[in-house]
Amino acid sequence: MVALEVGKRLRVTPLAIPEVKLVAPIRRTDPRGYLAETFNQRDLATFGMDFDAVQDNQSLSRPKGTLRGLHFQIPPFAQAKLIRVLCGSIFDVAVDIRRGSPTFGRHVSVTLRADGFEQLFVPVGFAHGFCTLEPDTEVFYKVDNFYSAEHDCGILWNDPDLAIDWPVSPNEATLSDKDLQLPRLKDISPAFTFEGAARASA
């Protein structure tokens, strides 16, 4: 995919599922260090990411191989996310769960590192999860809707239908009891539909 820039502030690369994007704020450096705009709503909108962040979340994962996911919230509390790593690195995954989408059930993955300074934009209609590649990894992400326990859902991280090549085996992964009991994609109720499918059938 081709990376596109806005001014000298931001570089955006659509991934294999183009709604999911790699966002790289451009650092301006001098002998003192650097300065960068890590979030600019107007610049994101230039690339089709209408993202009105309302909540920031931050996690610390002590063990290497900590796996969180695959998570999403259903409407009316569905969330888009903008994820970055503050310390360490992660294998980050977004799964298309929009019924009728040509990429339904497929995923994209990237490695995000604190020193790489990149972020992953995950839109509504995707499940998200990550696995830490280093101990003491800190992840920070913005969301455009508030957390709602009643609307919090997920998919089993190693659902064989998803065929995600995680960097850890089931014996190596550290997961919460909740994530170990999540259903497979085929067993969840449809929560999202692909807009293009509705237009095509009209």
Asked if 107 is an active-site residue, the reply is no
Q: d(Cα 91, Cα 154) in Å, to the nearest integer?
A: 18
Both tokens of 153, joined, read 């859902």
- Among residues 34, 107, 128, 141, the one annotated as catalytic is 141
| 21-25 and 119-122 strand pairing | antiparallel
Is the CB of residue 137 less than 8 Å from the CB of residue 90? yes
- Among residues 71, 107, 128, 147, the one annotated as catalytic is 71
Asked if 128 is an active-site residue, the reply is no
Torsion angle in degrees (nearest 10) through CA of 70, 4, 100, 125: 30
Beta bridge partners of residue 4, listed in sequence order: 12
Q: Which residues are part of the catalytic machinery? A: 71, 141
